[in-house]
């Protein structure tokens, strides 16, 4: 009678774990190249598209076999434990490939943890069976995504049984407590393969900088990453670094519309928290320069009359004031009320739009006070406020426009 798929995994989990122990420790030895493209979807999400070029070592191919149909489980990568959103896995011909389920992955991870623990216990004076029995609840906690007091619980296990530090077990338990292995089900692994997967992920922003996790930069011999920057936005700086130590691993071109970075990890070096840090900037002529020009014009219209003109005399002539009201309203509608922008760009321009809004509203109130022939002190106050707000807004927008990147695209020949 043929075994059910779940039963096949249970039967094969031990052998697969033997191969996984080696393949996960030496990921760069059999994965030749990993290419990632990060496409910004919004100010919160990015679409990560990953291509993995690999060759499974011949001595581990039989261990990874899942069934008599020639299916093999390949550890394609390691992802942080979070829900997979819009996950897609395909082969070279763009055919969809299956994944092992979470329960099947946990079965392999359980065997892997026990095997790593046995390796650490080799040659130790303690009773291996007693240690293995005591480590059972700890291993189940790791598989249940329970990271609470993980280091303390392992130290307690070492102390209770008089063990030396279980370094390999600590490393593997730490990895599997915060991450899970992407097990791709592949039919033909007797040759070099290129598989591709994609998923949506959230990212963080701090101090105007955007942070993307890039644990995959150490999972292959060479790592390439590109950022598909939204329209009308440029990447001012792009840096691949180890966030734990601050070491810079690679840097991209300045003010690029599609920055590309290349990195090859040193096998002797460990990277605790590799990540990509990007400083985005809105293009100069998308909004900032036109807004600065408009704010400067409004300042020039408001400031000289406030300083030199007799506003009380002008109050009897409403024509110029009404013209100012209509023109600033049209500018406000054209530059502020836009709906065709990328969500990230819209968020980046919020404070500058507020400057233009403040400048425009101040001018409107000043013109309205003049056009409706308000009292003398009201005219004086509104024009004074309008002059200060217009001058300040124009200064802020002109400074931002001068610092903003201009339109610049990298020639295709520059891409690595």
Q: Per DSSP, which regions of 214-352 are E strands?
A: 222-228, 233-242, 248-251, 260-263, 274-282
- What's the pLDDT at 147? 64
pLDDT tens per residue across all 416 residues of the chain:
334 445 567 788 999 999 999 999 899 899 999 999 999 998 889 999 999 999 999 999 999 998 878 889 999 999 988 888 999 999 999 999 999 988 899 999 999 999 999 998 887 777 888 989 999 999 998 888 766 678 888 899 889 888 888 999 998 998 898 888 999 999 889 999 999 999 999 988 877 789 998 988 888 999 999 999 998 899 999 999 988 788 899 999 999 989 999 999 876 677 778 899 999 999 988 888 888 888 888 888 888 877 776 676 666 565 555 555 545 555 555 566 565 788 888 888 889 988 888 888 888 888 777 777 778 788 888 888 988 998 999 999 999 999 998 765 444 334 43
């Amino acid at each position: 009678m043929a075994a059910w798929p779940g039963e096949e995994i249970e039967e094969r989990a031990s052998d697969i774990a033997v191969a996984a122990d080696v393949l996960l420790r030496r990921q760069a030895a059999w994965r030749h190249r990993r290419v990632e493209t990060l496409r910004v979807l919004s100010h919160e999400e990015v679409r990560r598209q990953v291509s993995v070029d690999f060759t499974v070592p011949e001595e581990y191919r039989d261990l990874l076999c899942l069934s008599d149909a020639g299916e093999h489980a390949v550890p394609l990568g390691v992802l942080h434990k979070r829900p997979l959103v819009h996950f897609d896995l395909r082969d070279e011909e763009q055919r969809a490939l299956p994944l092992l389920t979470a329960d099947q992955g946990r079965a392999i991870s359980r065997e892997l943890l026990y095997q790593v623990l046995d390796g650490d216990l080799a040659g130790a004076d303690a009773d291996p069976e007693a240690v293995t029995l005591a480590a059972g609840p700890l291993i189940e906690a790791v598989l249940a995504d329970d990271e609470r007091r993980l280091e303390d619980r392992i130290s307690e296990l070492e102390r209770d049984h008089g063990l030396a530090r279980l370094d390999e077990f600590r490393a593997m338990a730490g990895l599997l407590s915060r991450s899970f292995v992407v097990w791709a089900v592949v039919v033909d692994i007797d040759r070099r393969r290129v598989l591709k997967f994609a998923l949506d992920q959230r990212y963080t922003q701090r101090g105007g900088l955007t942070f993307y996790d890039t644990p995959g930069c150490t999972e292959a011999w060479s790592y390439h990453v590109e950022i598909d920057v939204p329209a009308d936005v440029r990447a001012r700086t792009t840096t691949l670094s180890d966030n734990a130590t601050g070491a810079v691993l690679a840097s991209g071109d300045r003010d690029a519309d599609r920055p590309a970075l290349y990195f090859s990890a040193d096998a002797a070096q460990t990277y605790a928290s590799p990540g990509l840090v990007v400083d985005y900037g809105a293009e100069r002529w998308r909004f900032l320069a036109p807004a600065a020009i408009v704010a400067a014009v409004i300042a020039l219209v408001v400031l000289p009359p406030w300083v030199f003109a007799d506003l009380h005399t002008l109050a009897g002539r409403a024509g110029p004031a009404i013209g100012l009201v209509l023109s600033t309203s049209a500018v406000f509608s054209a530059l502020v009320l836009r709906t065709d922008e990328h969500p990230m760009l819209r968020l980046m321009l919020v404070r500058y739009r507020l400057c233009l809004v403040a400048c425009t509203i101040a001018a409107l109130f000043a013109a309205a006070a003049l056009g409706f022939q308000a009292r003398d002190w009201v005219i004086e106050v509104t024009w004074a406020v309008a002059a200060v707000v217009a001058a300040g807004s124009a200064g802020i927008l002109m400074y931002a426009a001068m610092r903003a990147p201009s339109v610049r695209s990298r020639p295709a020949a520059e891409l690595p």
